[in-house]
Amino acid sequence: MTWHKDRGPGERRSYHHGNLREALVEAALALIREKGPAGFTFAEAARAAGVSPAAPYRHYRDRDALIADVARRGFEAFAAALTAAWNEGRPGPREAFNRVGAAYLAFAGKEPAYFAAMFESGLSLADHPDVRAEGDRAFAVLREACEAVIATLPGDRRPPPLMMALHIWSLSHGTAALFARGDSSRRAIPMSPEELLEAAVLIYLDGLGGR
């Protein structure tokens, strides 16, 4: 984004046409990293973006709408990352499946502000169907990967794809949450998140006869 001063020193910055939405999203991401998705007001987001308290209403009806836009963008990028990792199951479903898990953890680690907006904002998905749609698209990648792995299991040990997808999602999300804090308040864990998730999935598949 580009900014310019059209007033005297110390007065409010103005923005080039078309940049306000992006400025607000960037401001929201910075505030989420600092305070969490529920820790700031609409006015604070405007101030962080360098605009008047009324300016955000040009694009968003309220703070939740801004957070929803951040969450939607996060899910969109998340789905793209999982899709790239899955790579249509090549060269084989098990290897590709492990890549999806690693991509889940990588996104949570590299994009904590987006991840918090996606999963910790308390948004009503009924009020924000675009967020739900992008979230469903990301989950569909995980379900597709589960379906491919299920096809490699013994015929009498194949769980319903939705159930397995929910189990693997819980394992992945729980692992990401365990490693979300990098400070001294986090309990020391003698494994990397990738090792922990891979071991958990291996135990899960072993219980289904899939070793």
| Alpha-carbon span 209 to 124, nearest angstrom | 39
Q: Quick check: bond before 160 cis, omega within 30? A: no
Share of the chain above pLDDT 70, in %: 88
pLDDT at 9 > cutoff 90: no
List the CATH code of the domain at 63-207.
1.10.357.10
Query: What is 10-58's CATH topology?
Result: Arc Repressor Mutant, subunit A (1.10.10)
Considering the chain, tell me which residue range(s) the CATH 1.10.10 domain(s) occupy.
10-58
**Is residue 89 within 8 Å of 95, Cβ to Cβ?**
no
Considering the chain, tell me which residue range(s) the CATH 1.10.357.10 domain(s) occupy.
63-207
Percent composition of the chain: helix, strand, coil (DSSP 3-state, to 5): 65, 0, 30
Give the pLDDT confidence of 164-207 residue by residue, as tens digits: 999 999 999 999 998 886 555 667 788 999 999 999 999 999 98
Share of the chain above pLDDT 90, in %: 80
| pTM listed for this prediction | 0.87
**Is residue 106 within 8 Å of 128, Cβ to Cβ?**
no
Give the pLDDT confidence of 78-98 residue by residue, as tens digits: 999 999 999 999 999 999 999
- What contacts 180, CB < 8 A, 6 or more positions away? 108, 112, 186
C-alpha torsion sign, points 40, 44, 46, 52: positive
